[in-house]
Chain A
Amino acid sequence: MPDLKLTVNGIEATVLADPSTSLLSVLRKHFHLTGAKYACGEGQCGACTVMVGGEAVRSCVFPIHNVGQKYVETIEGLANSAHLHPIQQAFLDASAFQCGFCTPGMIMASVALLDRNPAPSVEEIRAGLAGNVCRCGTYSRIVKAVQSAAKAGRNA
Chain B
Amino acid sequence: MPEEAGGGYEHQLQRLEFGDDITRREAAKRLQAGILFLFTVRIGEGQETTNPMPLLSSRLHVGEDGAITVLTGKIECGQGIRTTLTQAAAEELHIAPARVRLIIGDTALVPDDGGTWGSLTTPQTVPVIRQACASLREYLCRYAAQQWKMDAGEIHVSNGRIRHTDGRTLSYRNLIDNKAFGAASIAGARLMPASEWAVCGTPMPAVHGPAIVRGALKYSSDLQFDGMLHGYVIRPPNYRCRLLSYDASKAARIPGVKIVRQDDFLGVVAPNEQAAAAAAHTIEAHWSNEQLGNPDTLFSDLKRNSKPPDAKAGGRYPALIEAGSVDQGISRAAHRHKASYQIWYIAHVPLEARAAIAEWRGDWLTVHCGTQAPFPVRDEIAKAFQLPPEHVRVVVSDTGSGYGGKHNSECELEAARLARNAGKPVRLAWSREDEFERSYCRPAALMEVESGFDSEGKVHAWDFHNYNGGAASLTPPYRIGNVRAAYHASISPLRQGSYRSLAAVGNTFARESHMDEIAAELKLDPLEFRLRNIEERRLRTVLERAAERFGWGRVRSGNGVGYGLACNLEKGGHLALLTELEMDGAQVRLRRMVAAFDAGAILNPDILSNQVEGAIVQGIGGALFEQLKFDSNRITNGRLSEYRVPRFTDTPEIDVILVDRRDMPSAGAGESPITATAPSIASAIYAASGKRIRQLPMLPAFEN
Residue of A18, A35, A41, A99 touching B401 (CB-CB under 8 A): A99
Most buried by A among B214, B399, B645: B214
**Within B404-458, which residues are at the interface with A (CB < 8 Å)?**
429, 431-432
Asked if B352 contacts A37 (CB within 8 A), the reply is yes
A33 to B213, CA, bound (A): 14
B401 touches A137 (CB 8 A): no
Proximity string of chain A (105-140) to chain B, C-beta cutoff 8 Å, 1 when within and 0 when not:
001000000000000000001110111111111111
User: Of residues 596 to 645 in B, which have CB atoms within 8 Å of A's CB atoms?
Assistant: 606-607, 610-611, 613-618, 639-641, 645
Chain A residues lying within 8 Å of B215, measured Cβ to Cβ, are 33-36, 74-76, 103-104, 107
Given contacts A37-B352, A129-B648, A139-B651, A98 and B79 within 8 Å (CB-CB):
yes
Q: Mark B208-230, 1 if CB is under 8 A from A, else 0.
A: 11101111111101101000000
Interface 1/0s, chain B 255-284, versus A by CB < 8 A? 000000000000000000110000000000
Contact of B613 among A25, A39, A92, A141 (CB under 8 A): A141
Quick check: is B654 within 8 A (CB to CB) of the other chain?
Answer: yes
Q: Which chain A residues lie closer than 8 Å to B639 at the CB level?
A: 40, 42, 44
Q: Do A98 and B210 form a contact, CB below 8 Å, given A129-B648, A137-B618? A: no
Residues of B499-514 at the interface with A, using a CB-CB cut-off of 8 Å, are none
Given the contacts A42-B641, A45-B640, A79-B214, A97 and B221 also touching, CB distance less than 8 Å: no
**Given that A39-B351, A84-B213, A103-B215 are contacting pairs, would A137 and B648 also be in contact in the complex, using a CB cutoff of 8 Å?**
no
A-facing residues in B165-223 (Cβ within 8 Å):
205-206, 208-210, 212-219, 221-222
Minimal Cβ-Cβ distance residue in B for A36 = B215
In Å, the complex CA distance between A91 and B610 comes to 13
A99 and B221 form a contact (CB under 8 A): no
Complex Cα gap A27–B432 (Å)? 19
Closest to B606 in A: A95
Given A92-B209, A99-B351, the answer on whether A76 and B641 have CB atoms closer than 8 Å is: no
What's the minimum C-beta distance from B71 to chain A, rounded to whole angstroms? 22
CA distance A143 to B429 in the complex (A): 32
B77: CB under 8 A from chain A? yes
Q: Which secondary structure characterizes the binding site on chain A? A: loop
Q: Is B350 interfacial (CB 8 A cutoff)?
A: yes
Check B351–A37 contact: CB distance below 8 A: yes
Q: Is A23 an interface residue (CB 8 A)?
A: no
Find chain A residues with CB under 8 A from B224 CB: 29, 32, 34
A99 and B77: CB pair below 8 A?
yes
Partner of B400, one of A28, A33, A101, A127: A101
Contact, CB under 8 Å: B618 / A38: no
Q: Kindly state whether residue B386 has any CB partner on chain A within 8 Å.
A: no
Task: Say whether A47 faces chain B, with CB atoms less than 8 Å apart.
Answer: yes
In chain B, what residue has the closest Cβ to A97? B212
Q: Contact: A137 with B214, CB < 8 Å?
A: no
**In the complex the two chains form, what is the Cα distance from A142 to B353 in whole Å?**
22
Which listed residue, A25, A38, A89, A130, touches B647 by the CB 8 Å rule? A130
**Does chain B have a CB within 8 A of A53?**
no
| B442 CB, min distance to chain A CBs, angstroms | 14
Most buried by B among A33, A88, A92, A137: A137
Chain B interface bracket (under 10, 10 to 19, 20 to 34, 35 or more): 35 or more
A102 CB within 8 Å of chain B: yes
Tell me, yes or no, whether B649 is within 8 Å of chain A by CB.
Answer: yes
A68 proximal to B (CB < 8 A): no
How far is it, in angstroms, between the C-alpha of A20 and the C-alpha of B645 when the chains are bound?
Answer: 29
Q: A95 touching B610 by the CB < 8 A rule?
A: yes
Is residue A153 within 8 Å, beta carbon to beta carbon, of the partner chain?
A: no
A82 and B217 alpha carbons, distance in the complex (Å): 17
Minimum CB distance partner of A131 in chain B: B647
Q: Are B401 and A139 in contact (CB under 8 A)?
A: no
Q: Confirm or deny: B646 has a beta carbon within 8 angstroms of a beta carbon on chain A.
A: yes
A11 vs B401: C-alpha distance in the bound complex, in angstroms?
A: 32
A35 to B, closest residue via Cβ: B215
Which residues A25-84 have CB closer than 8 A to chain B? 25, 28-29, 32-42, 44-45, 47, 74-76, 78-79, 84
Given contacts A39-B353, A143-B648, contact A137 B398 (CB under 8 A): no
Closest 7 pairs between A and B when the two form their complex, measured CB to CB: A35-B215, A137-B617, A99-B78, A101-B400, A98-B78, A75-B215, A100-B212
25 contacts between A and B (CB under 8 A): A33-B215, A39-B400, A40-B641, A42-B641, A45-B351, A45-B640, A75-B215, A92-B213, A95-B607, A97-B209, A98-B80, A99-B78, A99-B352, A99-B398, A100-B217, A100-B398, A130-B649, A133-B351, A135-B349, A135-B351, A137-B617, A137-B651, A140-B651, A140-B653, A141-B610
Please list the residues of chain A having a beta carbon within 8 angstroms of any beta carbon in chain B. 18, 25, 28-29, 32-42, 44-45, 47, 74-76, 78-79, 84, 88-89, 91-92, 95, 97-104, 107, 125-127, 129-143
* Interface residues, chain B, with chain A CB atoms under 8 Å away: 76-80, 205-206, 208-210, 212-219, 221-222, 224, 273-274, 349-353, 398-401, 403, 429, 431-432, 606-607, 610-611, 613-618, 639-641, 645-649, 651, 653-654
